[in-house]
């Protein structure tokens, strides 16, 4: 990964510079074009095969998924690397066919194409940065859409969960929450002391499975039931289980099959208790509520597994969560359910890449503006300051357009192909089918069109400098 991230852009720029001919009218050597074509085709084939291999919605183990994605990235690297010789080749073609363009634009195109050893590396920098930024955008949109579908809330929206604390620290954790949230009711959730497995048999009701595991089971008192249903009027009985489900089927009984580890091995316990069904306020909070008294009557000792602040009584803010987390330290883990939060880390990397592309496009014409052959032609014809600024803007904008247009094509190809291995399922549960995602075409279009316009505007506003004509120094406006 480090080789791909750090080495590929440099190798691409060097390859583009080495393939550029020294002569103004010289063609790109054929062996560079052949090598570039070969690398591009190999990269496309590798990415295409990887996309085809991972197009099914089945389980892919972690190692296979990681190696597949790495292979796809290497294919994308070869694809980009192969485009290097085509930058000076394209500049040469455009320079030869710029005859019918208006004079400032024609001279700008010929100026950029006339010194390809100078302009090709900078345009290559803009190209690869644009391509990587666009590919990152597409892949991030695809993975975010997939994660959003697979996301399962761990609690009701706005609820505070404090968990992963030991039995000895339960009292201290409870006191810390009360200190930070005085007067706020705290709901307690329990579990069986020691390893045990609870299986459910509820006639005519299908509870949703979470991540391929059994439906959620909650053990507690009336406050926990009120939290699960979000309805204070939910009937509560110490000997009656409650099935919290969106299924409208009538619930009459629930059979608990408990496998408990003991000294003599697993001790199976079966108990059938009355049960009722209620609808949850939020459809994602479903499962079986078991009164704590039922478990104690079966001879089980209970220990606290989580402390909950019901959002119906108090919605915990981010500042309150931070204070509670600092007070608890490593004694427990705090979590506030705020729904799916789309990862935004990729935006920072994309911004850096776009900034690099902007810099490459801006410096592509080089710093030889005052001695440019095309500029001297404009001055000999008595061009005004406005014409000189137009020439600088056209030259910089043309360089940026070459880099961003080619980068957009390469980035879209890589991103759309790598979206397949990037959204594979590596879990053992039933694989979540892939979902359609919104490709950021508007953002891509704004980048491709906006970068040349912005760089051209900056070049037009820059000082025009000085030049020499007929042995005298002629100053132009700044």
Average pLDDT over residues 267-296: 79
Lowest average pLDDT, out of 44-48, 149-153, 219-223, goes to: 149-153
pLDDT at 463: 64
pLDDT at 254: 66
Give the C-alpha separation, 32 to 4, whole Å. 22
pLDDT at 430 over 60: no
Cα angle: 14, vertex 19, 25; to 5 degrees: 135
Q: What percent of the chain has pLDDT over 70?
A: 78
pLDDT at 453: 93
Ranked by mean pLDDT, the top range of 241-245, 299-303, 346-350 is 346-350
pLDDT at 367 over 60: no
Per-residue pLDDT band for 283 (boundaries 50, 70, 90) equals: confident
pLDDT at 141: 94
Cα angle: 87, vertex 70, 86; to 5 degrees: 10
Name which residue leads in pLDDT, 266 or 331: 331
Lowest average pLDDT, out of 262-276, 307-321, 369-383, 452-466, goes to: 369-383
Average pLDDT over residues 209-216: 50
Q: Which residues contact 319 (CB under 8 A, 6 or more apart)?
A: none
Q: Are 119 and 395 in contact (CB under 8 A)?
A: no
Tokens at residue 386, please? 């406005």
CA distances from 213 to 198, 284, 408 (A): 12, 15, 43
Q: What percent of the chain has pLDDT over 90?
A: 29
pLDDT at 407: 93
pLDDT at 114: 80
CA distances from 405 to 40, 101, 134, 351, 393 (A): 17, 19, 11, 18, 17
β-bridge partners, 309: 160
β-bridge partners, 260: 196, 267
CA distances from 17 to 11, 108, 126 (A): 10, 20, 13
Give the C-alpha separation, 354 to 440, whole Å. 15
pLDDT at 253: 64
Going 336 to 341 to 345 to 348, the CA torsion angle's sign is negative
Per-residue pLDDT band for 212 (boundaries 50, 70, 90) equals: very low
pLDDT at 401: 92
pLDDT at 371: 45
CA distances from 429 to 117, 184, 216, 264, 285 (A): 55, 38, 16, 32, 20
pLDDT at 19 over 60: yes
Q: Please, is 3 exposed, middle or buried when counting C-beta atoms within 10 Å of its C-beta (0-12, 13-18, 19+)? A: exposed
pLDDT at 320 over 50: yes
Q: Are 180 and 322 in contact (CB under 8 A)?
A: no
pLDDT at 208: 52
pLDDT at 154: 85
Q: Which residues of 442-465 are buried (b: 16+ CB within 10 A; e: fewer)?
A: ebbeebbeebbebbbebbbeeebe
Ranked by mean pLDDT, the top range of 63-72, 112-121, 137-146 is 137-146
Structural element, H or E, at residue 275: strand 265-278
Helix/strand/coil for 318: helix
CB atoms within 10 A of CB 6: 10
Give the C-alpha separation, 236 to 228, whole Å. 12
Which of 34, 79, 69 lies closest to 412, judged by CA? 79
Specify the DSSP class assigned to residue 167: G
pLDDT at 195 over 70: no
CA distances from 36 to 44, 73, 80, 260, 447 (A): 12, 18, 9, 65, 26
Give the C-alpha separation, 357 to 130, whole Å. 6
Average pLDDT over residues 73-94: 89
pTM: predicted TM-score of the whole model, two decimal places: 0.79
Per-residue pLDDT band for 369 (boundaries 50, 70, 90) equals: very low
CA distances from 369 to 373, 376, 393 (A): 9, 10, 12
Per-residue pLDDT band for 206 (boundaries 50, 70, 90) equals: low
Per-residue pLDDT band for 470 (boundaries 50, 70, 90) equals: very low
pLDDT at 54: 85
Give the C-alpha separation, 478 to 462, whole Å. 8
pLDDT at 475: 40
pLDDT at 287: 80
Name which residue leads in pLDDT, 408 or 339: 408
Which of 221, 431, 172 lies closest to 324, judged by CA? 172
Which of 158, 182, 178, 180 lies closest to 170, judged by CA? 178
Q: Are 136 and 347 in contact (CB under 8 A)?
A: no
Average pLDDT over residues 414-438: 81
Per-residue pLDDT band for 9 (boundaries 50, 70, 90) equals: confident
Which of 133, 3, 42 lies closest to 451, judged by CA? 133
| Average pLDDT value for the chain | 80
Q: Which residues contact 103 (CB under 8 A, 6 or more apart)?
A: none
Per-residue pLDDT band for 373 (boundaries 50, 70, 90) equals: low
- Sequence ranges of the domains in the chain: 2-151+343-475, 160-336
Per-residue pLDDT band for 466 (boundaries 50, 70, 90) equals: very low
Q: Which residues contact 74 (CB under 8 A, 6 or more apart)?
A: 4, 46
Torsion angle of C-alpha atoms 144, 149, 155, 159, degrees rounded to 10: 40
Per-residue pLDDT band for 129 (boundaries 50, 70, 90) equals: very high
């Amino acid at each position: 990964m480090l080789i791909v991230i750090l080495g590929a852009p440099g190798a691409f720029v060097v390859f583009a510079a080495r393939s550029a001919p020294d002569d103004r009218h010289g063609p790109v050597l054929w062996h560079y074009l052949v090598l570039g074509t070969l690398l591009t085709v190999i990269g496309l084939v590798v990415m295409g095969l990887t996309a085809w291999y991972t197009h099914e919605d089945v389980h892919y183990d972690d190692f296979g998924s990681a190696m597949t994605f790495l292979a796809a990235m290497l294919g994308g690297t070869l694809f980009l690397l192969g485009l290097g010789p085509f930058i000076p080749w394209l500049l040469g073609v455009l320079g030869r066919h710029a005859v019918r363009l208006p004079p400032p634009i024609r001279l700008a195109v010929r100026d950029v194409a006339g010194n390809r050893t100078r302009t090709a590396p900078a345009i290559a920098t803009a190209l690869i940065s644009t391509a990587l930024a666009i590919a990152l955008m597409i892949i991030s949109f695809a993975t975010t859409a997939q994660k959003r579908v697979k996301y399962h809330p761990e609690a009701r929206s706005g609820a505070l969960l404090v968990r992963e604390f030991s039995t000895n620290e339960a009292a201290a954790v409870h006191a810390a929450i009360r200190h930070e949230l005085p007067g706020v009711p705290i709901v307690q959730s329990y579990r069986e002391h020691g390893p045990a497995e609870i299986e459910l048999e509820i006639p005519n009701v299908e509870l949703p499975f979470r991540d391929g595991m059994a439906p959620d089971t909650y053990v507690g008192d009336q406050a926990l039931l009120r939290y699960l249903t979000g309805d204070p009027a939910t009937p509560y009985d110490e000997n009656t289980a409650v099935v919290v489900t969106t299924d409208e089927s009538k619930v009459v009984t629930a059979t608990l099959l408990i496998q408990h580890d003991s000294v003599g091995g697993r001790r199976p316990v079966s108990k059938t208790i009355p049960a009722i069904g209620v609808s949850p306020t939020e459809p994602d909070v479903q499962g079986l509520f078991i009164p704590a008294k039922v478990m104690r009557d079966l001879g089980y000792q209970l220990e606290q597994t989580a402390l909950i602040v019901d959002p119906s009584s108090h919605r915990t803010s981010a500042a309150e969560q931070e204070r509670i987390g600092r007070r608890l330290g490593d004694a427990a883990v705090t979590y506030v359910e705020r729904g799916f939060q789309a990862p935004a880390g990729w935006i920072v990397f994309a911004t850096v890449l776009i900034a690099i592309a902007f810099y490459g496009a801006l410096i592509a014409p080089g710093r030889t503006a005052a001695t440019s052959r095309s500029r001297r032609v404009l001055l000999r014809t008595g061009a005004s300051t406005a014409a000189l600024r137009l020439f600088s803007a056209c030259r910089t904008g043309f360089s940026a357009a070459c880099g961003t247009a080619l980068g957009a094509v390469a980035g879209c190809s890589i991103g759309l192909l790598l979206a397949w291995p990037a959204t594979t399922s590596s879990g053992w549960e039933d694989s979540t089918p892939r979902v359609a995602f919104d490709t950021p075409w508007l953002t891509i279009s704004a980048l491709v069109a906006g970068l040349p316009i912005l760089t051209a505007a900056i070049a037009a506003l820059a000082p025009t400098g000085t030049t020499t004509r007929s042995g005298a120094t002629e100053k132009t406006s700044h």
